[in-house]
Amino acid sequence: AQKVTQAQTEISVVEKEDVTLDCVYETRDTTYYLFWYKQPPSGELVFLIRRNSFDEQNEISGRYSWNFQKSTSSFNFTITASQVVDSAVYFCALTPAGGTSYGKLTFGQGTILTVHP
């Protein structure tokens, strides 16, 4: 069974602050993929990143960066210099890599991020 835990239910920051959203996962699969999605107030799920379990390199995309640590089963997401438009619910998700199970995402409970002006 797979499990994704996002222990931070809500985070509130002031614009320009850096913020890190935590994600810890459990899986028995040897290969898997991790995802982050953003859900703005309008409700859609916006793809942010997909990471293969073999690839532990950190990734940076503009103000976003991700820290994947297989040893601690964590895939944390940092927003640098946060902006009001970053206010959303952020979901971490996990899927097995193999066979027909790919795409069967297990989501965390989500972290509500509010960025105040």
Partner 1 sequence: EPEVTQTPSHQVTQMGQEVILRCVPISNHLYFYWYRQILGQKVEFLVSFYNNEISEKSEIFDDQFSVERPDGSNFTLKIRSTKLEDSAMYFCASSGSSGGARTGELFFGEGSRLTVL
* Interacting residues with partner 1 (CB under 8 A): 33, 35, 37, 42-47, 50, 52, 91, 93, 95, 97, 100-110
The token pair that represents 90 in the structure block: 């952020």
Shortest CB 46 distance to partner 1, Å: 8
25 within 8 A of 73, measured Cβ to Cβ: yes
Q: Which residue, 52 or 72, has its beta carbon nearer to partner 1?
A: 52
- The secondary structure of residue 73, as a DSSP letter, is T
3-class DSSP state of 64? strand
Write down the least CB distance from residue 31 to partner 1, Å: 9
